A = this chain, B = another copy of it.
Amino acid sequence: MDIGTIIGISLGFFAIIGGFLMEGGHVAAVLQPTAAVIVFGGTWAAVIMQFPLGDVARAFKDLRKAVFPPTADLMHVVEEMVKYAQRARKEGVVALETDAESASDPFLAKALRLAVDGSEAKVIRESMEVEMDRMEAEDDIGPKVFDAAGGFAPTIGILGAVLGLIHVMQNLSDPSKLGAGIAVAFVATVYALFAANILYLPLAGRIRSRCKAAHREHELVLTGVIAIVEGENPRIIEDKLKGYVGGKAAASGSAPKAVRKAA
C-alpha cells in the first residue's frame, strides 16, 4: 500500500480532529449521523445523477490505483524497445512476431502486431492514437467522478448547514438550545469540507497522475515502434526514448557501451 496515502490520511485526521480536541472540543460534538446522511447522501446523489452507474463503479475500482500504485520502470521499457530495434535490424521486423504474442501489455502487443503485419508507420500511428485517445478518455472517468464529488460536497455541506439553521431558527424560543443547534448545523460543513479536501479532490489528482504515467509509457512505446518500422538506428532510438525517462539516463545521454557495439 502506498505510504503517501497512509501518511496523508493519518496526518489529515490527526491534524483536524487533534486540533479540535486540543481546543477542548469533544469528539461527540462532531459525530452527527444526520449531517453525514445529508452530506454523503447528497453528494453521491448528485454524482450518480451526473454519471452513468458504470462510471461511478469504475471510480471506486480506480481507488486501487491510488492506494496500491503500480510501479512503472520506464528505463526497463526503453531497454525492451532497444532490444526489439536490434532484432528488427538484424532479422527484419517480422522477427518481432513472437515478441508481439508474448508481450504482457496489450498496447505494446497491438503496436508490435501492426508492425509485424507490415503496416506503414502512418497507419500504425493512426491506429494506436485512436487507441490512446480512448484509453485516456476511459482513464479520466475515475478522476472526473471524484472531482465532481469534491465540487458538489461543499455546496451540499452548506445546504446541510442551512437546513440545520432553519431548524434552529424555528426554535428560537428556547435560547438555551440555540448554541448547540447551531453547532450541529455546522457539522455538515465540517464533513463536507473534510471529505472534499482530504479525500475526493486529492484522490482525483492522485488517480489522474497515475494514469498520466501510463500514457507517457504508451507514448514511449509508440515512438519506439514507429522508429523501428522506419528502420532507425537502435542507438538513435535509445537516445530518443531516454528523453522520456529523465533523471541521469537522459542527462548522461550516452548509451551503455554494450548497446553501442551491438548497434
Contacts and interface: CB of A to CB of B under 8 A. Distances in A.
8 contacts: A9-B49, A22-B37, A23-B163, A49-B202, A130-B240, A154-B155, A158-B193, A159-B190
A201 B50 CA distance: 8
A93 to B, nearest CB: 16
A228 to B, nearest CB: 14
Given A34-B22, A37-B18, A29 B106 contact: no
A46 interface: yes
Contact of A45 (B8, B123, B170): B8
Interface in A41-95: 41-42, 44-53, 69
Nearest to A66: B49
Contact of A8 (B49, B109, B134): B49
Contacts of A19: 34-35, 37-38, 41-42, 160, 163
Interface class of chain A by DSSP: helix
A239 interface: yes
A205 B155 contact: no
Interface residues of A, number: 114
Given A4-B48, A128-B243, 16 more contacts: A4-B53, A8-B45, A15-B40, A19-B34, A19-B41, A20-B163, A23-B163, A46-B198, A46-B201, A51-B209, A110-B250, A123-B236, A165-B186, A167-B183, A168-B179, A172-B180
B4 A45 contact: no
Contacts of A186: 162, 165-166, 169
Contacts of A7: 48, 53
A24 interface: yes
Given A160-B19, A246-B135, A253 B109 contact: yes
Given A135-B246, A160-B19, A198-B42, A178 B182 contact: no
